[in-house]
């Protein structure tokens, strides 16, 4: 299986078993993605969606709820395609099932065989566990016991983060799953890998020959990866207070984006080759050897009360389901070292946090500047070049370059920074898909390129564990930052020590930093 | 004197002696430029414009004609600034003068001293010869004989192309001028060097550190310089039929742009350093050693009758003042070799012609492509990266890069070319100034950076002479191309032999090639 397979017009016929069918993820992301696949012809007639959850719901009630959420959250709206929706919804089945009930899985198997016959599906089965990870073991073992792996065709398991809470728990989880599914059948979904601009990192790097000229420590000064959220912990306090920003965002999305930026060109675009290169990056991450190094290179923050978008927001410790003395970080910034020939001496600065001023995901490549006191630098302050991948909410890419100021006023600066943007002719628009549609399609096509292999997960945990261990034994509390600020002062100092600063987010106009 | 001096808010007070004051150049370019300088504060009160021509005109008649042409051709319109214009026009004087009349130059001197006293000008005198070059000798010798160089302050001579018609005639011209003016007092104006985007070549190259990464033969496949005109020979038949495209455009504008692209970084931005580097490029131009090499690498074309912009246009040989059997080229294309370490193996393709489909000046840098059969190239045809300097009529710069096609239709191409353009936030607009304002200002500030030094002129003639000599002794007539086409077929073949093609002009949408 390789990337070329994704060029098939439609995905292979399959039954989509949606465990956690009544949950938030399924309703907000998965049903809209499946309907959109149907709308665009990636799903044809030979598919069925089997919703599975403990709730007692009639077929009609379930279909109505799927319609409602697709209408609300999907970019492809069923309301304007009523007839198409009716056809699509004929492929939806619901089964109330207690996941501890092995007999129920036998009934699920029978139901699956019926829809496979009805829609002439050859036995391909995709099991999507939109469930907490502590349920994975029970579900997968019952999938096997219930005989659901006894069809012709492939069987694939799709799971999402959190994949454990440290290396040990992730290993346990992985062992459990491997009792039932082979590694090549396991699709660990990181929805950031489905995002247009994250996928573009590879496209840009490997289809533009001149990129290779500067993609190294001779020309790049540092790389900054920012994922900022405006939301607080919201309804997720119970989970989040045990996880924190580093596990929730750092271990997966952020290190995956870092790997996409840092990896060597794979020898092929086949999934195995891409994973091999990412694993090499993770292996090259310099683990912080001591508590002192963690303190020096990683900033741990937690939001205090403050104003955001004109509203007063409570402190993290006042949030529902959060311990009143919680030390959980809602923000972290880290200076990460990739110890290989390409990146030696180039810091990767990563940061993420809740209750920051804007919601955005951006990757900024800061180039080394022209030498001081050469030519124009004698007259003007020259800004370094930037290459910015705007992942979300807007998608785009721009170079920040220096140009002659066309202002003929002789007192004006000679040289000014200007942005070279992908212009409006290109089709890249706002980030709407969240990647689920693309990733579900890849999974049915057997393309694991944009999923994470066990080796990556394990190494990412090993890197993160070193930090969380130090924090767990720490006397220091997280640094507080008020809601609506860009995190603790220490995160600014992290770069200032190196003579750098965080570049403003949200495009060339800047929106603070 | 160096580039920093151009940052003075105003130019030093001076008398501008405009020889050829009733001619086309003065009216279309020079008066609008001087008025615009006044408008923007580069000229204050201490200046005078001394119009000199044989015609008998009253002061009022001359001022009116200057007003008319400034209103018509200037981007800064006197009509909307009537009071300012009146102030400005007080500084204009006219003197009817036969340039052979040495006594007349004595009177000119007296007139100059009067205006210098009136406007408190310290004796700086700029002599602009908007005249055919065969008159230069007489004018400069009479400037000296008339005592016009006997003031305090500087004396500078500004002259324009054609600076001779070959190396021998240029040397003669130069010797004549050097009897009166020193090389450092001679400003050989090439108005393309005053163009915003030509000046930006240096700004881009030397203020953007990442440019240095790919500005060499490892990453660049070829560089294409195109100057296309839609006009025919118009009223210039008499001159043009003896000059031709190579002398008229190639020897000056095109080789100057080539030098700006190819030159090594100077050690300072001082004019001498820039000229030194340009001279090095001209020395590195590979002279075609034989007639066969000229035939192989240079295409000589002449327009035949054809349709352009929906109108039938006559053949060159039918134009007024053109010999009916003329072999003069109205088009040439050449493959030029720059034999140095940076550019070995990178052809510079240059072409210019009259009666081509669009009027435009562009420089296209074509990068070497990603290797075949690597990654994406297995699935898609990958276009090479381009960096395009749009000099005229629109000004701008863009990278043509490859990106992932966000079209989710799985049958679409994975990778599509998109343009990264300097966006509308930047101030670069249509090319309106023609550079004269900027260059006049530079001349009064003593900055010769954007003028051509004798060494450059001489080497450019030596390069061009080799071609014209072969053509002059040639049995082959120019290749005919119909008006409205992109030149003779041979010009396409020139690149096709190397596996390249001329990239379409006028931006990423393309307008033929």
CATH number of the domain encompassing residue B63:
3.40.50.720
Q: Is residue B67 in a domain? A: yes
Average pLDDT over residues B198-206: 90
Cβ within 8 Å, pair B206-A374: yes
Average pLDDT over residues B52-73: 97
Give yes or no for residue A508 having a pLDDT over 50.
Answer: no
**pLDDT band at residue B256 using 50, 70 and 90 as cut-offs:** very high
Give yes or no for residue B9 having a pLDDT over 80.
Answer: no
Q: Is residue B176 in a domain? A: no
The reply to whether B362 touches chain A by the CB within 8 Å rule is no
Partners of A399 on chain B (C-beta within 8 Å) are 399, 420
Catalytic residue list contains A295: no
Backbone angles phi, psi at A311, to 5 degrees: -120, 145
Pairing type for strands B479-482 and B220-228 reads unpaired
Average pLDDT over residues A296-311: 96
Give yes or no for residue A456 having a pLDDT over 70.
Answer: yes
What pLDDT score does A375 carry?
Answer: 65
The reply to whether B401 touches chain A by the CB within 8 Å rule is yes
CA A205 to chain centre: 20
What pLDDT score does B513 carry?
Answer: 40
Q: Total structural domains in chain A? A: 2
Q: Is residue B464 in a domain? A: yes
Contact indicator for B495, B320 with CB cutoff of 8 Å: no
Contact indicator for B204, B454 with CB cutoff of 8 Å: no
Integer Cα distance of A338 and A345 in angstroms? 8
Integer Cα distance of B394 and B406 in angstroms? 29
The helix/strand/coil state of A279 is helix
Give yes or no for residue A1 having a pLDDT over 90.
Answer: no
Partners of B200 on chain A (C-beta within 8 Å) are 403-404
Alpha carbon dihedral B80, B82, B86, B88, in 10-degree steps, equals -20
Q: Is residue A505 in a domain? A: no
Q: Is residue B502 in a domain? A: no
Same domain for A197 and A136? no
What pLDDT score does A446 carry?
Answer: 94
ipTM value greater than 0.85 = yes
Count CB-CB contacts under 10 A for residue A102: 14
Give yes or no for residue A159 having a pLDDT over 90.
Answer: yes
Give B392 or A78, the one with higher predicted confidence. A78
What pLDDT score does A2 carry?
Answer: 34
Taking only the tens place, the pLDDT of each residue in B373-416 is 666 666 678 899 999 999 988 888 889 999 887 765 555 667 88
Same domain for A147 and A260? no
Same domain for A430 and A286? yes
Same domain for A199 and A129? no
What pLDDT score does B2 carry?
Answer: 34
**pLDDT band at residue B62 using 50, 70 and 90 as cut-offs:** very high
Task: Please spell the DSSP secondary structure of B319-373, one letter per residue.
Answer: STTS-TT----SEEEEEE-B-STTTTT--EEEEEESS-SS-EEEEEEEEPPPPTT
Integer Cα distance of B455 and B274 in angstroms? 12
How many Å lie between the alpha carbon of B273 and the closest alpha carbon of chain A? 11
**pLDDT band at residue A7 using 50, 70 and 90 as cut-offs:** very low
- In chain B, the percentage of residues whose pLDDT exceeds 70 is 92
The reply to whether A394 touches chain B by the CB within 8 Å rule is no
What pLDDT score does A403 carry?
Answer: 87
Average pLDDT over residues A295-315: 96
Residue A79 exposed, middle or buried by CB count within 10 Å (0-12, 13-18, 19+): exposed
The reply to whether A218 touches chain B by the CB within 8 Å rule is yes
What pLDDT score does B137 carry?
Answer: 96
Taking only the tens place, the pLDDT of each residue in A193-204 is 998 889 889 989
Q: Is residue B212 in a domain? A: yes
Taking only the tens place, the pLDDT of each residue in A95-141 is 999 999 999 999 999 999 999 999 999 999 999 999 999 999 999 99
Same domain for B197 and B76? no
Partners of A432 on chain B (C-beta within 8 Å) are none
What pLDDT score does B84 carry?
Answer: 96
How many Å lie between the alpha carbon of B494 and the closest alpha carbon of chain A? 25
Q: Please, what is the average pLDDT of chain A? A: 91
How many Å lie between the alpha carbon of A42 and the closest alpha carbon of chain B? 8
- Helix ranges (H only) for A19-101 are 24-25, 31-39, 59-73, 82-89
What range does the domain containing B49 cover? Answer: 14-160
How many Å lie between the alpha carbon of B194 and the closest alpha carbon of chain A? 12
Same domain for A198 and A150? no
Same domain for B459 and B387? yes
Q: Is residue A225 in a domain? A: yes
Same domain for A228 and A105? no
Integer Cα distance of A208 and A198 in angstroms? 16
Of the listed ranges A10-24, A470-484, B390-404, the least confidently predicted one is B390-404
Q: Please identify, among A110, A140, A160, the residue that sits at the C-terminal boundary of a domain.
A: A160
Residue tagged active-site, from A27, A91, A191, A253: A253
Taking only the tens place, the pLDDT of each residue in B444-458 is 999 999 999 999 999
CATH (domain of A447): 3.30.360.10
**pLDDT band at residue A424 using 50, 70 and 90 as cut-offs:** very low
How many Å lie between the alpha carbon of B369 and the closest alpha carbon of chain A? 6
Q: Residue B162, preceding bond cis, omega within 30 degrees?
A: yes
Contacts (Cβ under 8 Å, ≥6 apart) of A73: A27, A28, A29, A32
Integer Cα distance of B198 and A314 in angstroms? 56
CA B51 to chain centre: 25
Same domain for A218 and A149? no
Q: Is residue A146 in a domain? A: yes
User: Counting runs of H as helices and runs of E as strands, what totals does chain B give?
Assistant: 17, 18
Q: Please identify, among A160, A179, A212, the residue that sits at the C-terminal boundary of a domain.
A: A160
Integer Cα distance of A392 and A453 in angstroms? 24
The reply to whether A372 touches chain B by the CB within 8 Å rule is no
Residues of A (238-267) whose Cβ lies below 8 Å from B:
265-266
Q: Please identify, among A109, A141, A160, the residue that sits at the C-terminal boundary of a domain.
A: A160
Same domain for A283 and A429? yes
The closest of B389, B452, B448, B3 to B190, measured between CA atoms, is B452
A421 closest CB neighbour out of B210, B402, B420:
B420
Give A483 or B423, the one with higher predicted confidence. A483
Of the listed ranges A3-17, A160-174, A333-347, B243-257, the least confidently predicted one is A3-17
- Enzyme catalytic residues of B: 253
User: Nearest residue of A to residue B385 by CA position?
Assistant: A208
Average pLDDT over residues A432-436: 70
Contact indicator for B352, B226 with CB cutoff of 8 Å: yes
Integer Cα distance of B257 and B361 in angstroms? 10
pTM (2 decimals)? 0.91
Q: Which two tokens stand for residue A370?
A: 């022209």
Backbone angles phi, psi at B285, to 5 degrees: -60, 130
According to DSSP, residue A146 is labeled: T
Partners of B423 on chain A (C-beta within 8 Å) are 418-421, 423
Same domain for B323 and B206? yes
Same domain for B339 and B227? yes
Helices B167-178 and B454-472, packing angle to 10 deg? 150
Q: For B233-287, give the secondary structure using H, E and C.
A: CHHHHHHHHHHCHHHHHHHHHHHHHHHHHHCCCCCCCCHHHHHHHHHHHHHHECC
Q: Which two tokens stand for residue A220?
A: 């790049």
Cβ within 8 Å, pair A206-B370: yes
A210 closest CB neighbour out of B200, B385, B408:
B385
């Amino acid at each position: 299986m390789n990337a070329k397979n994704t060029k098939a017009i439609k995905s292979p016929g399959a039954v989509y078993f949606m465990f956690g069918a009544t949950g938030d993820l399924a309703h907000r992301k998965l049903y809209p993605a499946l309907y959109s696949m149907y709308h665009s012809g990636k799903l044809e007639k030979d598919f069925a969606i089997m919703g599975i959850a403990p709730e007692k719901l009639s077929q009609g009630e379930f279909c109505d709820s799927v319609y409602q959420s697709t209408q609300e959250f999907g970019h492809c709206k069923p309301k304007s395609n009523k007839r198409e929706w009716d056809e699509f919804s004929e492929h939806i089945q619901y089964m109330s099932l207690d996941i501890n009930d092995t007999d129920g899985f036998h009934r699920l198997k029978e139901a699956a065989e019926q829809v496979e016959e009805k829609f002439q599906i050859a036995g391909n089965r995709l099991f999507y566990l939109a469930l907490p990870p502590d349920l994975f073991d029970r579900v997968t073992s019952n999938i096997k016991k219930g005989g659901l792996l006894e069809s012709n065709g492939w069987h694939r398991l799709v799971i999402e983060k959190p994949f454990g809470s440290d290396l040990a728990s992730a290993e346990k989880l992985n062992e459990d799953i491997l009792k039932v599914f082979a590694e090549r059948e396991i699709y660990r979904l990181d929805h950031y890998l489905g995002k247009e601009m994250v996928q573009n990192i590879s496209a840009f790097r490997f289809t533009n020959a001149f990129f290779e000229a500067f993609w190294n420590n001779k020309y790049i000064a540092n790389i900054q990866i920012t994922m900022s959220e405006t939301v607080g912990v919201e309804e997720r306090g119970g989970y989040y207070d045990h996880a924190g920003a580093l596990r929730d965002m750092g271990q997966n999305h952020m290190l995956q984006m870092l790997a996409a930026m840092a990896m060597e060109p794979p020898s092929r675009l086949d999934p195995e080759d891409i994973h091999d290169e990412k694993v090499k990056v993770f292996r090259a991450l310099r683990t912080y050897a001591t508590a002192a190094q963690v303190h020096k290179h990683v900033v741990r923050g937690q939001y205090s009360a403050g104003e955001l978008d004109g509203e007063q927001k409570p402190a993290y410790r006042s949030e529902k389901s959060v311990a009143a003395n919680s030390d959980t970080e809602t923000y972290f910034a880290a200076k990460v070292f990739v110890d290989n020939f390409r990146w030696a001496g180039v810091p990767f600065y990563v940061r993420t946090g809740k209750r920051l001023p804007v919601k955005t995901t951006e990757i900024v490549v800061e180039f080394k500047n022209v030498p001081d006191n050469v030519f124009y630098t004698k007259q003007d302050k020259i800004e370094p070049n930037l290459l910015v991948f705007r992942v979300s909410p807007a998608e785009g890419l721009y170079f920040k370059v220096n140009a002659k100021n066309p202002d003929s006023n002789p007192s004006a600066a000679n040289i000014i920074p200007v942005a070279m943007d992908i212009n409006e002719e290109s089709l890249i628009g706002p980030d709407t898909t969240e990647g689920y549609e693309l990733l579900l399609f890849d999974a049915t096509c057997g393309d694991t390129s944009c999923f994470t292999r066990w080796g990556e997960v394990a190494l990412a945990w090993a890197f993160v564990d070193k930090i969380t261990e130090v924090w767990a034994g720490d006397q220091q509390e997280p640094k507080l930052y008020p809601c609506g600020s860009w995190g603790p002062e220490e995160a600014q100092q992290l770069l200032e020590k190196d003579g750098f600063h965080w570049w403003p987010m949200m495009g060339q106009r800047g929106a603070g930093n």
